[in-house]
A and B are shown apart, each in its own frame.
Chain A
Amino acid sequence: MRRMLQLRRNATNLLAQSLAVAATAFGLFWLAWIVWTTLRMGLHALTPALFTQMTPPPGEGGGMLNAFFGSALISLLGIAMGAPIGVLAGTFLAEYAQTPWSARIGAIIRFVNDILLSAPSIVLGLFVYTLVVAPSGHFSALAGAIALGFIVLPVVVRMTDEMLRLVPAQMREAALSLGVPQSKVVLQVLYRASLPGIVTGILLALARISGETAPLLFTALNNQYWSADINAPMANVPVVIFQFAMSPYEQWHALAWAGALVLTLFVLGVSLVARVFVARGHFTHD
C-alpha cells in the first residue's frame, strides 16, 4: 500500500516537472521563432536606402528616413512631456505623501497609476483624439507625442517612487540635521542618489513607446513625405510598418520587415542599457 502511494507521488512529481520543462520549452520555442523570423526577413530587406530614402509610393522600393525621423521626434517629445511630470509625481508619492491624509491620497494615486500603467494604449489614443485632434480639426505629430506622454507618465512615476523609497533614511536624516530644507534634500541629495534608477525608468518608457502603434494611428497618423511640422501628420516607424505590412505589395512588405528589425533591435538595445543602469544603481546603494 505504502509502496503504491510512494510510486504514485513520485510519478506525479515526475510528470509535473516534465510539464514544467515542456512549458518553458513552449515559451522559448515561440521566442526563437519570432526572433529568427524578424532577423531573417529583416536582414534580407536591410539596405542602406532604408536610412537614406523616403517612404515609397505603392509598389516601389525606398526607405523609411522620414519615419525614423518622425518616430525619434515624437518619442522624444513624448518623453519630454511625460518624464518631468512623472518624476515630480513619483517624488510626491515617495517623499510628500506622509501625513495620514495625504498618505491615503498617495495610495489612491499609486493604484490609479498602476492601472494607467497597464491600460490599453489604444484607449489613450482615443483619449488624445477627443482631447486634441477633434477640437483642432487635424491630426498632428504633437497629438501623437501627447498620447505617448501618457504612456511614459505611469512608467516614470512608478520607477521614481520605487527608487526614492530605496534611498536609505540616513541620507535624509543627515541632510536634515544640517538644516537643509526638504525641497533641497529632494533635489540635491535624493535625486542624485536615485539618478540611475530614474534614468532607467525613462529608458524603459522610451523602449515601450518606440514600438507603440495603436495610440499613433489616429493622432500622428502617417505621412508619405518628409515633415518636421509638429502640427501636421508625421510619418513614424510603427504606423508605416502597419500600413506596409497590411498592403498587398511585395516591396512594401520587405520594407516593413526591415523597419521591424530595426525597431526590435532598438527596443531590445534600450531595455538592455536600462538594465545596466539598474545594476549600477544597486551597486552604489549598497
Chain B
Amino acid sequence: MAISTTLAAPRTKTAAIGDRGFRWLVTIAGAFVLLALGAAALSMLWGGRAAFAKFGPAFLWSGAWDPIGQQFGALVPIYGTLVTALIAMLIAVPVSFGIAMFLTEVAPRWLRAPIGGAIELLAGIPSIIYGMWGLFVLVPVLAGHVYPWIDAHLGQWPLVGVLFAGPPLGLGMLTAGLVLAIMVIPFIASVMREVFRTVPGRLKESAYALGSTRWEVVWDVVLPYTRSAVIGGIFLGLGRALGETMAVTFVLGNAHDLTASLLMPGNSIAATIANEFAEADSAMYRSSLIALGFVLFLVTFVVLAIARLMLHRLARREGR
C-alpha cells in the first residue's frame, strides 16, 4: 500500500510544488481532526471556568441547583445520568447478546439479512422520535398499567422496595432507562453481530464436531474468542447512553431532586443542558451548564476510549 516518496517524485518543478501542496493540505486536514477534539475539551473547560473557580471540586458532589441563589452542583444530573445509563445497559446488554446470537447461530440463513436490516433500521431513527414516542405513547402506558403494579408488588419488597415505590407518574428514571435501552440495543447488537462473524468457521466446526450444542459453541467458543470486542461494543453503547440527549429529555421529568425511587422524575447532564441552556439568564448559570458539559465530555471520553481499545484488540489479533 505504501508509496515510497522517491518513486512518486514528480518530474517538473510546478508539479513538485502541487504535489507537496497537496501533501500539506491533507496533513493539515488530518491535524484538524486532532485539533477539533482538543479544542472541544479546552473550550468547555474555558466556558465552565467561572463555575469551577467558584465551586471548586465540590461542584461534582454538591446537590444544589438554585439559579436564583446562584448555587450550582452536579450531583443530581451526574446521578441521573449514571442511573439511567445503568438501567439501559442492564436491559440492553443481554437482549443485544440474544439478538447477535440469533442472527449468527440460531436463525435460518434466509431470515438473517432481513432481521439484521430491521434492527439496524432501529438505529437510524432520529433520537427525537424515540423521545416523542416515549412521551406520548410509552409514558401513558407505563403510568396506567405497569408502574401501579410495580409500586404495589416490587415496592413492598425489603431493601429493593425503595427503588420501586412511588406515584405512577410514568415519567422518571426507569422510563428514561427503558427508552435508552431501546435506543442502544441496535448499536450493541450490530457490533456483537459483526464481531461474532469474525470467529473462524473451523473453530466453531471443531466444537460442533465434538458434539457441542449451539449454546455451548456460542458461550465457550464464540464469546471467549471475541470477548474484548464484545466489551468494546458494550462500552460503545454505554457511551451513547451516557450522552444521549433528546430521548431522555422528553421522559426524565426534569426535576432536580435526588430520590432513591426509580419511578420518580430526575435529571441527567444532557437533559439539564438541553432544557435550561437557552433560558440560562446569568453568566454563572451558563458557566455551570458548560461545566456540566465538560464533565459529560470527560466521562464519555474515558468510556469511548476503553471501547475503542477493546475493539482494536480483536482487530489486531485478526491481523487487520
Binding site for B on A (CB under 8 A): 9-10, 12-13, 15-17, 19-24, 26-28, 30-31, 33-35, 37-38, 41, 85-86, 88-89, 91-93, 95-98, 105-106, 108-109, 111-116, 118-124, 126-127, 129-131, 134, 150, 153-154, 157, 165, 169, 172, 176, 179, 181-187, 207, 210-214, 217-218, 221, 238, 241-242, 245-246, 253, 256-257, 260, 263-264, 267-268, 271
Contact = CB atoms under 8 A, between A and B. Distances in A.
A258 B279 CA distance: 27
Contacts of A114: 304, 308
Given A16-B215, A112-B34, A268 B121 contact: yes
Contacts of A153: 33, 36
Contacts of A126: 44, 47, 273, 277, 289-290, 293
Given A23-B97, A28-B119, A241 B132 contact: yes
A108 B31 CA distance: 10
Given A96-B27, A126-B273, A111 B308 contact: yes
Contact of A22 (B23, B98, B115, B129): B98
Contact of B36 (A106, A116, A165): A116
A169 B1 contact: yes
A15 B18 CA distance: 65
Contact of A183 (B23, B105, B127, B305): B23
A242 to B, nearest CB: 6
B160 interface: no
Contacts, number: 285
Contacts of B219: 16
Interface string B1-25: 1110001111100011011011101
Contact of A217 (B18, B28, B31, B278): B278
Given A112-B33, A122-B293, A268-B121, A211 B22 contact: no
7 residue pairs, one from A and one from B, having the closest CB atoms = A211-B126, A120-B243, A23-B98, A88-B29, A181-B10, A92-B30, A13-B213
A93 B26 CA distance: 9
B2 A92 contact: no
Interface stretch (B58-66, B68-76, B197-205, B234-242): B234-242
Given A210-B126, A211-B127, A120 B245 contact: yes
A27 B189 contact: yes
30 contacts: A19-B98, A26-B98, A27-B185, A28-B119, A38-B133, A85-B32, A95-B3, A119-B297, A120-B243, A120-B244, A120-B270, A122-B243, A123-B300, A126-B293, A130-B43, A150-B40, A157-B33, A172-B3, A181-B9, A182-B8, A183-B21, A183-B22, A218-B277, A242-B128, A260-B129, A264-B125, A267-B124, A267-B126, A268-B124, A271-B124
Contact of B214 (A16, A27, A111, A179): A16
Contacts of A105: 30
Contacts of B131: 242, 245
B102 A264 contact: no
A177 to B, nearest CB: 9
Contacts of A96: 23, 26-27, 30
Contacts of B95: 23, 26-27
B296 to A, nearest CB: 6
Nearest to A30: B182
A96 B25 CA distance: 11
B286 to A, nearest CB: 9
Contacts of B40: 119, 123-124, 127, 150
Nearest to A149: B36
A184 B27 CA distance: 16
A91 B135 CA distance: 44
A89 B29 contact: yes
A187 to B, nearest CB: 8
A201 B239 CA distance: 22
B81 to A, nearest CB: 10
Contacts of B308: 111, 114-115
A24 B34 CA distance: 39
Task: Give the most central of B22, B30, B130, B273: most A CB within 10 Å.
Answer: B30
B132 A256 contact: yes
Contacts of B102: 20-21, 23-24
A113 B32 CA distance: 10
B30 A106 contact: yes
A118 B30 contact: no
Interface in B57-113: 94-99, 101-103, 105-107
B122 interface: yes
Contacts of B284: none
A13 B208 CA distance: 13
Task: Give the most central of A31, A105, A116, A127: most B CB within 10 Å.
Answer: A127
